[in-house]
Structure 1
Amino acid sequence: MPKWTVPQQNAIDAKNSNILVNAAAGSGKTAVLVHRVIKMITEDGVPVDKLLIVTFTNAAASEMRKRISDKLREIIKNTQNNTVAKKQYSLLPGAKICTIDSFCINLVRENFYKLDIQQDFNIMDDSERMLVEDSVLDEIINSYYDSGDKTFLELVELLSSAKNDDDLALTVKQINSFTSSQAFPDLWLDKACELYNPEIKLSESFAVERIFEETQSYIDFVFELIDNSFNSLYEDDVLYDKYKKMLLSDRENFETLKASVSTKDWNKIIQNINGVSFSRAPSKRDYESPSKAVVTANRDNY
């Protein structure tokens, strides 16, 4: 039996709620998930063929199924009278341990008649998708050329070269690909267009909220750099007091900025940013401070 860490054991034992586990590569995610499944099917009485276990790759799905199978075989070997493990092992071939794509395809095949589609539908591969995409896009672009739409022609002039309009088509496909990855593509596009609407002030745009968040994030990072600089100081450094005074001044600058960001007053933030002034780093003739490299690098950063 592996010796689990407290977070791993919590992930194995958690019940009766939605669970989100954030774990880095190589941290034992698969082993934890396998043990969680084994615990559910051998101790909690959940039939393994009633579970849905999805992965991102076929290799990961195969690995998951193999590990569960191996663990059940081990339990059966060690406790031959364990009828629960034997039953779960017999149900394992019917368990839904697969990729997300495979699960969705099977779900559609099982319910094709409810979706009003043919039972023998095929999944379009990338090469087929690209051909259809290019064909449809060419048709749409040509229809706009035929209409003589002024706005469209301005767009062509903006995005295309003197030789062809390939860049126009490429831009449309890139935008489509990006927006398709958004949870709500149309909403994302509407918000993006707000940035270019001359009737909407920048201070009223959704982008300002993002700017506040980004600025706050940068300021928090600066405080980490300043703390790192303080930690690099040596008390026996002849420039210790001067470096300390300089860093305290730097921190005061960014505390002022942080306070203005919290007010979300656009003009106040700009005013304070423009008012930031950094003192020169202290130096002493023929003396090299042991903290200089760290402090200088951090100051250059912020």
Structure 2
Amino acid sequence: MNLVQANDKQNHTAVQEFILVGYQEYPALLFTVFLAIYTAIILGNGLIVVVTTLDQALHTPMYFFLRSLSGLEMCYTSVTLPKMMVNLVSGDRSISLPACASQLFFMLFLGGTECFLLAAMAYDRYLAICLPLHYMTIMSHRVCVGMVTGSFTISFPMILLQIGMIFSLPFCGSNEIDHFFCDTPQLLSLACTDIHSSELALYFQSTIFVIIPFLLILASYVQIAKTTLRMPSATGRQKTFSTCSSHLTVVILFYGSAAIVYLRPKNPESVKVNKLLSLLYTIIIPFCNPLIYTLRNREVKNAFRRLLGRTRALKRGMGMID
């Protein structure tokens, strides 16, 4: 028994880095695809931030939250995609322990923040639809800033505790992570000690980040549904549905994929499925967010046209176009 422990300790000291297996087939093609997606994420979400900031008509709580979400999505995607693209180009899939810990911290921190921010957006819709006369009084700018700030700060101490718990475990044996970023389930599988108590604690924390905001969102939409069904006008019901459909689509995609990855029982067959689902909530949803929130949003499209008009007028004034 002492010999086994000694070997484990020796292996633990030897693990100075991890290998991100990721996706190894067709690296040139995948790099091109991921580069195009990353560029679209930055440009699309960045455009929402610019438009909702410059257009005075969009200085409302709803677009304040949307601007915060778009900024968050740019940061969230930047934690994984650049590293994955570098790995595809260089062929070097290694990541040091500190870099792995940092990547996991920002993934969990920003992911947890998004959960609470989506809950804040649902509450905003609830007030606008169910309590319209009190909406502007309750959702003051100070309250909006406080809700966004709270979404960021509420998850920080628990995520820090979670990172400390994971990286205090001894790692031995294989250092290959069958994923394209450092993630909790894969790291726990590499630990060479009993992880039962760690899994329970981490499962509990994940439940808090997923279930509590989800229940708040569910409660908000139950009240919204009740109010909508009592509306006498079909046009009013359709307008309400159109207002909420974008946010509800993002909630279903984000929470659905994240819940399957982090809350369902782990088994060897789930590794490939989890990797695909992780692509959904880390890359595809941030890519689709600008489309989801703008294609059916007349106010954003009109603001974008006004911005283009002002840009053309400025260019004409500077003699750059005829």
Instruction: Name the TM-score, length of structure 2 as normaliser.
Output: 0.23
Structure scoring higher RCO (CA < 8 A, sep ≥ 6) equals 2
TM-score by length of 1: 0.25
Report the structure number with the largest CA radius of gyration.
1
Higher helix share: 2
